[in-house]
Amino acid sequence: MKKVKIGIIGCGYMAQMAHIPCLKANKNAEIVALCDFRENVTAELCQRWNIPDRTNSVDELLAMDIDAVYVLTPVQWHLSNITAALKAGKQVFTEKPAAMSGASVLELKKAADTAGIGVSVGYMKRHEANIVALKKIQAESDWGKMLFIRTHSFIGEHWNAAIEDLITPVASEESPVFDAAPLDPAPAWLKAERDETFYSFDNPYYALLDTGCHSVNLLRHLAASEPEVQSARNMSEVKLVDFNFSGTPGVMEFCLNFNMDRWDEVTELYFEKASVRILTPPPLDMQASAVVEIYSEDGTLHRNIQLEDNRQWAFRLQTDAFIEKVLTGNNSSDLEDAGKDIAIIEKIHKIEKGV
């Protein structure tokens, strides 16, 4: 079978720890070239993974004989990288979040529609085997009305599950001079200078966008309905957000605390006749899958779907799904859906800051 030829833009942490290994594990994919500003990084990665070509120019990468592009740069680059890839007629996988604002995602959607290409966005939790199984069981069951949905996401330093013990990231002193011109300037309502701090976790909007988008995306996926943000507050760095999912209350408890060496993410759904608890693992824990417990009407645990097979790592399943999508000519797009997460993040930040 013909292999999907891949070019990667942005060869930092996620490329090195998740996407390159997963693409290498897929027998229908072939990484043809790497692109990064940091030339010592691409040089070492090409050697480590036996990848034939590399460049520091996005245009050069896009001129190569590749079918699809992985956009693994920080979110402020996604608008320009994805637009360029679409103009070059390449299939696109991008890490989340799709862009800096809902308005930028709309621009991407226009570019994708013009190119006739469906962009995939990297919400790997949707590929968790047990979450896929849960959605199927839910569709086949009569659990009655959903009464409440909650996510508790206290994100700590253990997000990478000590993966550096297995894969050493390539060290680099190279760093390009900051230039805001090519970066996504949005959202327009956020009145701040577009300097290096703006595009960092020191900007609370950026931090919430970059990390909280996973929680919002998973909540929407599980609730299968669109929430209104009713209230949002931030006290001692803990965010408490109230949602209204078409008459069903929802809550997001969210905290970024990299002093805590732990990953603590629980999502719960309560129905009239059942309840569900989902424990999602640290994202880079390649040995773990989400644990899903389904409790029946009388409160007894009647399903505990657990997998212990590291080939079920959500990132691997996500890679396999993207390669399959390209091979089968499936043109579905995640952009519209991904734009909804960002619109919600914008709303939470606006309410919190009284904008």
Ligand X SMILES: NC(=O)c1ccc[n+]([C@@H]2O[C@H](COP(=O)([O-])OP(=O)(O)OC[C@H]3O[C@@H](n4cnc5c(N)ncnc54)[C@H](O)[C@@H]3O)[C@@H](O)[C@H]2O)c1
State in angstroms the smallest separation of the CB of 298 from ligand X.
37
* Non-local CB neighbours of 50 within 8 Å, separated by 6+ positions: none
Does residue 12 bind ligand X (CB under 6 A)?
yes
Q: Does residue 278 sit in helix, strand or coil?
A: strand
d(CA 3, CA 6): 9
Task: Identify the three-state secondary structure at position 157.
Answer: helix
Pick 174 or 272: Cβ nearer ligand X: 174
Taking the C-alpha atoms of residue 209 and residue 216, their distance in angstroms, rounded to an integer, is 10
Q: Which residues are within 8 A (CB) of 123 and not within 5 positions of it... i.e. 6 or more apart?
A: 96, 214, 217, 218, 221, 334, 338
User: 8, 29, 51, 77: which one contacts ligand X (CB under 6 A)?
Assistant: 77
> Which of 237, 308, 264 is CA-nearest to residue 158?
264
The rounded distance, in Å, linking the Cα atoms of 122 and 120 is: 7
Amino acid at position 84, single letter: A
Residues 112-131 interacting with ligand X (rule: CB under 6 A):
122, 124
**And the tokens for 17?**
């720890």
Residues 91-110 interacting with ligand X (rule: CB under 6 A): 95-96
Establish if 73 lies at the interface with ligand X (CB under 6 A).
yes
Hey, what are 161's tokens? Answer: 């599950």
Among 75, 92, 274, 326, binds ligand X (CB under 6 A): 75
Q: Write the binding mask 151 to 170 for ligand X: x where contact by CB under 6 A, - elsewhere.
A: --------------------
- Pick the piece of the chain touching ligand X (CB under 6 A) from 10-18, 233-241, 268-276, 287-295: 10-18
Residue 48 vs 233, nearer CB to ligand X: 48
Q: Which stretch binds ligand X (CB under 6 A): 74-82, 194-202, 231-239, 255-263?
A: 74-82
Tell me which residue of 40, 50, 102, 107 sits closest to 79, measured CA to CA.
107
Nearer to ligand X, 13 or 295 (CB): 13
CB-closest chain residue to ligand X = 12
Instruction: Give yes or no for a contact between 55 and 28, defined as CB atoms under 8 angstroms apart.
Output: no
| Element spanning 305, H or E | strand 301-305
Site for ligand X contains 34 (CB under 6 A): no
Task: Check if the beta carbon of residue 105 is closer than 8 Å to that of residue 346.
Answer: no
Residue choice 4, 6, 8, 14 for contact with ligand X (CB under 6 A):
14
Q: Does 281 bind ligand X (CB under 6 A)?
A: no
Buried b (16+ CB within 10 A) or exposed e, 209-222: bbbbbbbbbbbbbb
Pick the binder of ligand X from 5, 13, 266, 307 (CB under 6 A): 13
- For position 9 contacting ligand X by CB under 6 A, the verdict is yes
- Give the one residue of 26, 38, 155, 248 binding ligand X; rule: CB under 6 A: 38
Task: Map residue 76 onto helix, strand or coil.
Answer: helix
Q: Among the candidate windows 7-15, 148-156, 216-224, 347-355, which touches ligand X by CB under 6 A?
A: 7-15
Q: Which stretch binds ligand X (CB under 6 A): 5-13, 135-143, 224-232, 242-250?
A: 5-13
Rounded to the nearest whole angstrom, what is the least distance from the CB of residue 322 to ligand X in the complex?
13
Footprint of ligand X (CB under 6 A): 9-15, 35-38, 41, 58, 72-75, 77, 81, 95-96, 122, 124, 210, 283
